[in-house]
Amino acid sequence: MAFRSAVITFPGSNCDRDMAVALEKVSGTAPFRVWHGDADLPEKLDFIAVPGGFSYGDYLRSGAMAARSPIMNAVIDAAGKGVPVLGVCNGFQVLTESGLLPGALMRNASQNFVCRTVPLKVENSQSLFTAGYEAGETIHIPVAHHDGNYFADEATLDRLEGEGRVAFRYQDAVNGSQRDIAGVLNAAGNVLGMMPHPERAVDERHGGMDGWALFENAVNALAKA
């Protein structure tokens, strides 16, 4: 059975095509392309991706306006039913603004846009998204953001740590994120938000393959379900 995925596009998205290419390369099936103004998602989806970019020009707060787009009601509903949802960069911001993930993404501590490949430590290797990695493994994934500084109150941070919901952690100083958090999971483990771009690390010609396992494990796991 073909892998059924969808990539959401907002006004200002600029990584939606990258995400679609990565999903098709790994799964062999092109994802549905869904406009933010649509009210419904395609039926029987296996995977939803909320890509990077600058939705609505980052007005108000990064991801805040996109989180109120009509399609996000359907994404929230699908996530509640267990459909895997991946939010990358601006997509991570959208997921926090929509309440699917805790915390917020603030302006980088340096006040500068950061664009480079960074080392990440895999903290949780038990989720649908991360089971293709070893716990403690270091992978290298590109970042490109101005508002990637993850913030949450201490009680929330302690809960995320205690429940194993920190998926990835920066290995060097990148943006000032509390506890160097680069990606977090929801309580059910089917929603992942991360600032680094795994879809930009699925081709050796683009600098590396460390993002491939994230998509491959999701495809394989859902094929066996």
Q: Which residue numbers are catalytic? A: 89, 197, 199
The C-alpha atoms of residue 184 and residue 32 are separated, in whole angstroms, by 25
The C-alpha atoms of residue 53 and residue 51 are separated, in whole angstroms, by 7
76: left (phi over 0), alpha (psi -120 to 50) or beta: alpha
Q: Using an 8 Å Cβ cutoff, are 92 and 195 in contact? A: yes
The C-alpha atoms of residue 203 and residue 165 are separated, in whole angstroms, by 28
* Of 89, 8, 95, nearest in space to 53 by CA: 89
The C-alpha atoms of residue 112 and residue 114 are separated, in whole angstroms, by 6
The C-alpha atoms of residue 202 and residue 214 are separated, in whole angstroms, by 10
